Amino acid sequence: MPAVSARLPVFPWDRLEPYKATATAHPDGIVDLSVGTPVDPVPERIRSALAAASDSPGYPTVWGTPQLRDAITGWAGRRLGADGLGHANVLPVVGSKELVAWLPTQLGLGSGDRVAYPRLAYPTYEVGARLAGTEPIVYDDPVAVEPAGLKLLWLNSPSNPTGRVLAKDELRAVVAWAREHGVLVFSDECYLELGWDSEPVSVLHPDVCGGSYDGIVAVHSLSKRSNLAGYRAAFLVGDAAVLGELLQIRKHGGMMIPAPVQAATVAALGDDAHVAEQRARYAARRTALRTALEGNGFRIEHSEASLYLWATRDEPCWDTVGDLSKRGILVAPGDFYGAAGERFVRVAFTATDERVAEAVRRLT
């Protein structure tokens, strides 16, 4: 078996450790804006549902309870505009990162197949392609990718790291092109409920897919919108044939969401109020950080959605990381997400109000 180092890129976050040490040494402590991990409390309604289901001695099912499937189809219809969904159109997964990393393998892709993803992207798209032994392909324009051998095309809107949102007409063109060439589209929409300057649209919206889910699947997560990163609660919605095949594979692999987490997911998807409250927290932090960064000579590009500001001072990203670390502020270098990000940094606004205020103070 080839060594991991030969099959996979270097784990990027290890390279940030020296800068984290510098930031941590700041007299007033580190302000960690590098990782988009939630810091606010899990809503009480969700915790109560988790606790009430804690006496679950038996194995859960991979497909989830009927109540969970009802919750997913109901939410997708209400929030995404996806009509006519049945249980065959949904599949719970153990966090979205697991799905992204192992999807090409579970689809049976391998040598000679190609997997495409945006030039600036979440690194796990490449990892998943390499784990399966496929050829990873980056794109600026998805419909310009050579379709020969292309089996899987990743979309990501809103984007991590840039926060860019694809418009309906862009999504519609991709779906039409992919169907013409027999390419399966997976759309990573985990930040869809966090639009700021633009309203993100799902690939499942009828204006995009024409009311048919053939060849398309949307990926959603409760990590960001409900502060449930620790619960590993995510799900797929879309093409019933594709999800049926994945369900059989995942049954064999025992890829089950714990029963209490399934119950918590039902509660989370049935309540929009906590999402609005969390959005308000993030909106205030975003405004404060954006104002401080722009006042400090940064230019913000895209960033119309998601939990990040895509910022640059038109210098190498590691110079920016080093300078900010001396002020006790840790950010993610843009080249973690591809060479095209080498003059940008990704600034998360997932820190507490107190830490965000401290970052603003140091920047101004």
266-287, pLDDT tens digit by residue?
Answer: 999 999 999 999 999 999 999 9
Nearest partner of 238 among 115, 79, 128, 87, judged by Cα? 87
pLDDT tens string 296-329: 999 999 999 999 999 999 999 999 999 999 999 9
Residue 1 pLDDT greater than 70, yes or no: no
Segments forming the whole domain that contains residue 200: 44-269
Two tokens, residue 329: 């502020």
Judged by DSSP in three states, 25 sits in coil
pLDDT number for residue 9: 66
* Separation in Å, CA 354 to CA 202, 330, 360: 34, 15, 10
Residues 75 and 155 in one domain: yes
Residues 309 and 208 in one domain: no
Out of 269, 299, 320, a domain closes at 269
DSSP secondary structure code for residue 59 in this structure: P
Confidence band for 5, pLDDT divided at 50, 70 and 90: low
Read off the CATH number of the domain in which 188 is found: 3.40.640.10
As a whole number, mean pLDDT of residues 140-156 equals: 97
As a whole number, mean pLDDT of residues 185-204 equals: 97
208 near 168, Cβ under 8 Å?
yes
Read off the CATH number of the domain in which 313 is found: 3.90.1150.10
Judged by DSSP in three states, 37 sits in coil
Q: Name the pTM for this structure.
A: 0.95
Nearest partner of 275 among 68, 78, 51, 97, judged by Cα? 78
pLDDT number for residue 3: 55
C-alpha 102 chain-centroid distance: 15
Out of 222, 253, 269, a domain closes at 269
Confidence band for 129, pLDDT divided at 50, 70 and 90: very high
The number of domains in the chain is 2
**DSSP sequence for 240-267:** HHHHHHHHHHHHHHT----HHHHHHHHH
As a whole number, mean pLDDT of residues 211-223 equals: 97
Residue 249 pLDDT greater than 90, yes or no: yes
Residue 24 pLDDT greater than 60, yes or no: yes
Residue 157 pLDDT greater than 90, yes or no: yes
* Separation in Å, CA 165 to CA 127, 199, 252: 23, 8, 36
Q: How large a percentage of the chain has pLDDT more than 90?
A: 96
Residue 206 pLDDT greater than 70, yes or no: yes
pLDDT number for residue 310: 98
Two tokens, residue 65: 């309870």
Residues 250 and 316 in one domain: no
As a whole number, mean pLDDT of residues 124-130 equals: 96
Residues 99 and 228 in one domain: yes
Beta bridge partners of 115: 136, 152
Instruction: Name the average pLDDT for the chain.
Output: 96
Alpha-carbon torsion (355, 356, 358, 363), positive or negative = positive
Would you put residue 184 in left (φ > 0), alpha (ψ -120 to 50) or beta? beta
